[in-house]
Amino acid sequence: MKKPNFQAWLQQKVSDEPEVILAGKLEYLRLYLTDAMREIRNKAGLTQAQLAEKLGVKQAAVSKLESALKEHELESVLHYLHTLGADLLVAVKQGDDLYQASDNEGVLLVDVPDVVFQKALAANMSVREYVRVAVEKFSGEDEQ
C-alpha cells in the first residue's frame, strides 16, 4: 500500500489566515497519526477487536482512535501505541531551534532542508529512507 504524501499536501498554500493554517496543521496531524496507528496495528497482526481486548476497551473505542474525524486525547493515543510496543516521537520547532520532547533517547529527531525532501521525492523514496541510505553511504565511505 502506497502511503499518501501528507507532506506535499501540507505544503500546498491555502490561505494566509492563521486560523486556516492552524486548522490545516491539525488536520495533517490527525491524518498522519491515525494512518500510522492503523498501520502499526495491522503490522502487529491485530484486528481492532483484538487490540480493544488488550486495551480493555470496546472495539468502537479503537475505531474512534483510528478515525481522523475525531479529537484524540494524548493519553489514549499513548496507551494505544504503548500496547503495540510503539513510541510517539515529538519535536517542537521555533525558527531554527528544534526541541525533542520525546522520551526515546535512542531516536534523534532532526530538521532536514527542503532540498532533501525534493531529492527523496526524485528518488521515489520517503525522506526517512533517503536519509538512512545517505547516512549509510557516508558512514561506509568514512570507514575505508
Using one digit for the tens of pLDDT, what is the confidence trace for 120-140?
A: 999 999 888 999 899 899 887
State the CB neighbour count (10 A cutoff) for residue 84: 16
Give the three-class secondary structure for 73: coil
Place of cell 491539525: 26
In terms of Cβ atoms closer than 10 Å to its own Cβ (0-12, 13-18, 19+), residue 75 is: exposed
pLDDT, position 144? 46
pLDDT, position 44? 96
pLDDT, position 9? 59
The rounded distance, in Å, linking the Cα atoms of 44 and 31 is 20
